[in-house]
Structure 1
Amino acid sequence: MKIQRNNLSVILIASALGGIALVVIQLIWMRHSWQLSEEIFNQRVSMALCATIETYDGGSLCAGSHCSMAKNSETLILANVNDLPAGLIDKPDFRTELNKTLAFYQIDLDYQLSLSTTKQCQPDVYQTVVSLPSLKGNEAYLRMSFPNKKSFILRSMNLMMFATVVILIFVTVLLLLVNWSLMKQKRLLQTNVDFFNNMAHEFRTPLSNIGLAVNMLSKKHSELKDNQLIDIIRRENKQLLHEVERVLQLAKVENGDYALEKERVSVSQLLQNAIDSLSMPIAERQATLLLEDVPDDLYIFGDKQHLGNVFRNLLDNALKYTKERPLIRISVQTDDKGVIVAVQDNGIGIPTNQREMIFEKFQRIHHGDKHAAKGFGLGLAYVKSMIELHNGFVRVSSEENRGSKFEVYLPTVSNEGLTRSDDSKTVKNRQSMV
């Protein structure tokens, strides 16, 4: 169906966009996690460097700083540490203390130390300022760098990255499987629709020929005119032809291959034509049909043929789904905005769990035995589609074993909606027996 195909396209696009959004979010999250891990690493190194100097110097205050491309030397946090020996970075006990402090902060990584007298900030370099006697009170910068810093941070994020990659792969595969399944269902749906349409086209010609042959046979042999077998052939052929036409009409509506020939249509004539077209099944079922008098000057603006099919389908369902003698009431209500035509029966009713799907294609009402359900399940789908094309709606109220009531609303659109002549008469409340 056209609506379902559109929904499938929307689902496919939405799932693809959702997958892309998930990947982007995961990448942003991983980047944020990397930045957070790097910041934690920087803080630990700075604290380890300062803690080592303070311990080695007997408690002098130190403030370490991490150089980065975003910072220049003027923004570094510096601290003076006095009376440190000139060969500080080469002393084994200093290295031992620094290694111990780094281990305390869970940093097991090779590093490089150097002293510099310039305030040159380099990326991934940690430094603190010290004052050495050999430099005659001038400040020197103790620098510390880690050549394998990135690989160390990556190792610390291994579990997180592995879980992220697994989740992304799982979600991607799942989305691909869902999309593949939806595409398969879409192709299957299109194949089924094409099959039904082609089958309907193939059936229409022979069924029409059968009808013509029966009529010619009845005319040629007058004794067969009222023959019961001929009547059965004619009736069943007409029913099959009606079902075929319904399939083709619904296919045209769903494919957009239709043209509504809207005109000023008499509501009274529309309903009467629908009743007349079902005169034979009404007589066979000994149905009682109560039609509220509708003024001859009550008009709607729409396609006469399609609207006639709508009311014929509703009446046909009322006859089909009534076990005893059908009692069908047709009433009409009007207001300033439109007209409501109600078709009420005393049939088997519609189970609560099936009311939401009765307007879907190929859905039929069944009570226990689904094979006892009649028809192809196309009538109400056609009714809903056609009424919506006329900017109206159809609704149903039902009670099991008590009957159903279908209400069709057709709105007024400027001068193209409900019109009444100036000498219109009041709708009469009396009912006529058909």
Structure 2
Amino acid sequence: MTQQKIRWLVVLMSLALIGLVIFQVVGVRETLNAKEDQFDGSVTEALDAVAHKLEKTEVAVLTSRRLAAERRKEKLQQIAIHDRPAKTEPKGRKASPRKADPATIQRYASHSPIVQQWEFYGRVTVPSDVLNRTNGTLTDAEMHYVEEYYRNESPPLNPDNRLRSELEKTYDETMFRNLRKDVESVKARRDSVGKFLANRVVGDRKAAPVRKHMPKEAAAKPKVTFSRPRVSRIDSARLPHRHMTEFEKAEQKSRVMREVLLDMFTNDRPLNQRVDMAILDSLLKNEMSIRGISIPFEYGLRSDDNPHDFIFTSSPGYREDRLLDGYSMQLFPSDLMATDNMLYVYFPERQSYLAQQVWTTLVSSVILILVMASCFYVAMSTIVRQKKLSDMKNDFINNMTHEFKTPVSTISLATQMLSDEAVAASPSMLNRYLGIIRDENQRLGSQVEKVLQAARFDRGEVRMMRDQVDLHELIETVVHSLSPQVEARNGVMHTNLGAKQSIVTGDEVHLTNLIFNLLDNAIKYSGEVTDVSVSTASSADGVRVTISDKGIGMTKENLRHIFEQFYRVPTGNVHDVKGFGLGLSYVKKIVEEHKGTIRVDSAPGKGSTFEVWLPF
């Protein structure tokens, strides 16, 4: 693969990775927006349900209070009737039915809204007289007096009462229309106070029969007078109980409901009297829990009487600006008069809650992006490394061909010279060419051995023959063998073997090759002036060997790769430094096999220093 193809591949894979990241970010954002809309909708539904239930609670509370007041009123009436002295009828006077004027009754019925609305087959009640009246009919003057009395007792409607009157009229029309069928089902029967449900009143009405005999107990009962009834001492169980008819029960419920509705529509009660804080807190928590919202929240109430301050907050002293930034819902929206009674709810942990809702999607997206990026990096690194290895192998083949070609050519030339009769006749010439063949053969063998050693190290087949080795003797032997090269370059090699203990445990052959490769590299890369020094020093648990030169040096980029196989420091197009790029990689592996360390310091134009530490 060419360098240009690798560049195009990197660009395309980078664009694909960037597109994947963008799609994942957009997807997570859309999911978060959907969760926010769902959360907002759930909160709005919960607040709407709370507002509706608060209205129902208010109706229930007002109804229960009104019914309790009606029961107390009825009980007081029963107490008053029980303690009222019985009246005896004067002797010689008998109660007789009185007859009403048909025209008057017809006129009363036509003007009465109740009679007009309640068409339940004339089932009205007519009480019997308790006084003996000889004239049983009411005169026109008497009827006129009665009508004037009720007309004068009814106060005129002022503007403030018009709304109440209209509500009563609307309520009557609706309520009694629904009660008509229920009232028709009530059969005519005698009630507990001696009244009859008569036929429909058209032009005449019948009087109920008079009780002829009074109970003896009632006639003999003494007259009792008192100033104030003491209700607390009355045994309610012994009071006479008057059973209400179905119609009377319906009428009482209708009256109570009408009064409750009128109180709701007309009475302007403060918000803190209309809302019970404990009920509000319970409703909010219950509605939020039903919709799966379990995070804490703060809430507050603000009335239209004082729209700038909160009349109540769930946490005293809580920041009001936070509540205003949350959710709001109008309370009692069914009031006739529009009000600005508002309920505010704020969720301090809203963002973290929403983040938790999309946490799975977010984590999976991040993991997917990281996996793709890692695969992209590994793929690109592998491609680049394979490309580099391919280049290094090509260089290795070129160098190996050059290194092998020179000895082979030299041996071939020496062999040709040996075939010459003049050379064969001269023993000195013969020995010379034979020595050249021997040296080149050893050189060729050493090069082949280096390649084989590198292959064995890669396969892990190298076995160390560990023994006690004196590093000072080993270094002196290697320096002596390399002295001709230094002298040929007009250089100098310094030795400073100052280690107090120089014996280590290791493989003598591999340690010799280690020192030889380091000194050989120092000589080859010394430049024009060869100046190499070797020194040793003892440490607490090992020996430190330092080899330095004053050659061309290396850059930081070269330092990162000098221990790689087949890597050679570039020297331009001139092939004046021989080698396969296997020497330093071999050195590093030998040091690691002996549990030691190696460190390099170098700078371009200032030379290089290799420091090897080997344990005892």
CA gap of 1:184–1:257, structure 2 versus 1, over 3 A, is farther
d(CA) in 1 for partners of 2:511 and 2:417? Answer: 32
d(CA) in 2 for partners of 1:163 and 1:297? Answer: 62
d(CA) in 1 for partners of 2:515 and 2:362? Answer: 61
Of Structure 1 and Structure 2, which has the larger fraction of its residues in strand?
1
CA gap of 1:293–1:169, structure 2 versus 1, over 3 A, is closer
Q: Which one of the candidate residues 306, 322, 333 is aligned to 2:510?
A: 306
Q: CA deviation at 1:291?
A: 2.9
CA gap of 1:179–1:321, structure 2 versus 1, over 3 A, is closer
Is contact 2:407-2:443 (8 Å) kept? no
d(CA) in 2 for partners of 1:164 and 1:180? Answer: 24
2:432 paired residue number: 226
Q: CA deviation at 1:342?
A: 1.9
CA gap of 1:161–1:356, structure 2 versus 1, over 3 A, is closer
Q: CA deviation at 1:54?
A: 4.1
- The one-letter amino acid paired with 1:43 is V
Q: Which one of the candidate residues 575, 579, 592 is aligned to 1:388?
A: 592
d(CA) in 1 for partners of 2:513 and 2:472? Answer: 15
d(CA) in 1 for partners of 2:574 and 2:30? Answer: 57
Q: Which one of the candidate residues 528, 533, 548 is aligned to 1:344?
A: 548
d(CA) in 1 for partners of 2:440 and 2:593? Answer: 31
Is contact 2:497-2:534 (8 Å) kept? no
- The one-letter amino acid paired with 2:525 is Y
Q: Which one of the candidate residues 350, 354, 366 is aligned to 2:558?
A: 354
Q: CA deviation at 1:161?
A: 10
Is contact 1:365-1:373 (8 Å) kept? no
After superposition, what is the alpha-carbon deviation per residue over 1:265-312, rounded to whole angstroms, capped at 9, x for unaligned? Answer: 122331133234435533432332233467998422111111111111
2:186 paired residue number: none
Matched, 1:323 2:527: yes
CA gap of 1:337–1:276, structure 2 versus 1, over 3 A, is same
Q: Which one of the candidate residues 275, 282, 289 is aligned to 2:479?
A: 275
Which deviates the most, 196-205 or 376-385? Answer: 196-205
2:48 paired residue number: 48
CA gap of 1:351–1:162, structure 2 versus 1, over 3 A, is closer
Q: CA deviation at 1:171?
A: 5.0
d(CA) in 2 for partners of 1:310 and 1:217? Answer: 37
Is contact 1:217-1:224 (8 Å) kept? no
Gaps of 5+ in 2: 1-26, 59-263, 265-270, 294-325, 329-353
Is contact 1:207-1:241 (8 Å) kept? no
d(CA) in 2 for partners of 1:276 and 1:179? Answer: 48
Q: CA deviation at 1:203?
A: 11
d(CA) in 2 for partners of 1:213 and 1:362? Answer: 28
Is contact 1:218-1:225 (8 Å) kept? no
Which deviates the most, 201-210 or 281-290? Answer: 201-210
Gaps of 5+ in 1: 1-26, 72-103, 107-153, 413-434
After superposition, what is the alpha-carbon deviation per residue over 1:183-222, rounded to whole angstroms, capped at 9, x for unaligned? Answer: 6567778989999999999999999988988898899944
Is contact 2:548-2:609 (8 Å) kept? yes
In the TM superposition, 1:139-158 aligns within 5 A as none
d(CA) in 1 for partners of 2:581 and 2:360? Answer: 53
d(CA) in 2 for partners of 1:302 and 1:388? Answer: 12
After superposition, what is the alpha-carbon deviation per residue over 1:209-240, rounded to whole angstroms, capped at 9, x for unaligned? Answer: 8898889889994414435x984x76666555
CA gap of 1:207–1:306, structure 2 versus 1, over 3 A, is farther
Pairwise CA RMSD of aligned residues? 5.4
Is contact 1:211-1:237 (8 Å) kept? no
1:417 paired residue number: none
After superposition, what is the alpha-carbon deviation per residue over 1:305-347, rounded to whole angstroms, capped at 9, x for unaligned? Answer: 1111111111111111122242222222223422122222232
- The one-letter amino acid paired with 2:594 is H
CA gap of 1:358–1:390, structure 2 versus 1, over 3 A, is same
CA gap of 1:45–1:337, structure 2 versus 1, over 3 A, is same
Is contact 2:532-2:548 (8 Å) kept? yes
d(CA) in 2 for partners of 1:196 and 1:353? Answer: 19
In the TM superposition, 1:45-124 aligns within 5 A as 45-54=45-54, 60-61=274-275, 62=280, 63-64=283-284, 65-66=286-287, 68=290
1:248 paired residue number: 452
d(CA) in 2 for partners of 1:349 and 1:312? Answer: 19
Is contact 1:366-1:372 (8 Å) kept? no
Q: CA deviation at 1:41?
A: 4.2
- The one-letter amino acid paired with 2:45 is V
Which deviates the most, 183-192 or 259-268? Answer: 183-192
2:181 paired residue number: none
d(CA) in 2 for partners of 1:169 and 1:360? Answer: 34
Aligned to 2:454, the other structure's residue is in SS state: helix
Matched, 1:286 2:490: yes
d(CA) in 1 for partners of 2:451 and 2:511? Answer: 16
Aligned to 1:271, the other structure's residue is in SS state: helix
CA gap of 1:373–1:364, structure 2 versus 1, over 3 A, is farther
Rg bigger for which structure?
2
> TM-score if structure 2 supplies the norm length?
0.39
Is contact 1:265-1:302 (8 Å) kept? yes
Is contact 1:211-1:234 (8 Å) kept? no
- The one-letter amino acid paired with 2:544 is I
1:123 paired residue number: none
The alignment of Structure 1 onto Structure 2 pairs a total of residues equal to 303
Which deviates the most, 252-261 or 191-200? Answer: 191-200
Matched, 1:376 2:580: yes
1:334 paired residue number: 538
Aligned identity (percent) is: 24
d(CA) in 2 for partners of 1:244 and 1:372? Answer: 20
Q: CA deviation at 1:251?
A: 3.3
d(CA) in 1 for partners of 2:31 and 2:383? Answer: 37
d(CA) in 2 for partners of 1:200 and 1:404? Answer: 23
